[in-house]
Amino acid sequence: MTALSVQTEKVAKALAPTVRELLLKEIERLAAEKLQEKPSRAEADIMAACAAVARAADKLAAAKYTAREIPARRALERAADALGRAMRKHGRMPGDE
């Protein structure tokens, strides 16, 4: 090893904790900014459709083995179809490239 490389290693080791702290603070700042962003129209549509599917699935689970099961199953199918349409509309459907 040359004297220059030994000195460079010492400087790098000395700077590492400071640089790490700066990077962590910047990552936290970027993450906080991302959380404050308003979701796009596509994300809002897809999330609303996902919520509808979840509600329909819950209703179907509650209606199992009752007279309400068939309508609940149809409602779940309609909600799933609507989710598929929303994902295709916004180009987010896997396999539809």
**C-alpha to C-alpha distance for 42 and 31, rounded to whole angstroms:** 21
Q: What is the DSSP letter of 64?
A: T
Cβ contacts of 73 within 8 Å, gap of 6 or more: 60
pLDDT exceeds 90 at position 96 = no
Quote the percentage of the chain above a pLDDT of 70.
94
Q: Give the least confident one: 60-64, 71-75, 83-87, 92-96.
A: 92-96
pLDDT score, position 6: 72
17-60: pLDDT as tens digits: 999 999 999 999 999 988 888 889 999 999 999 999 999 999 99
Q: Please state the pTM of the whole predicted model.
A: 0.61
How many degrees, rounded to 5, is the angle at CA 78 between CA 91 and CA 96?
A: 20
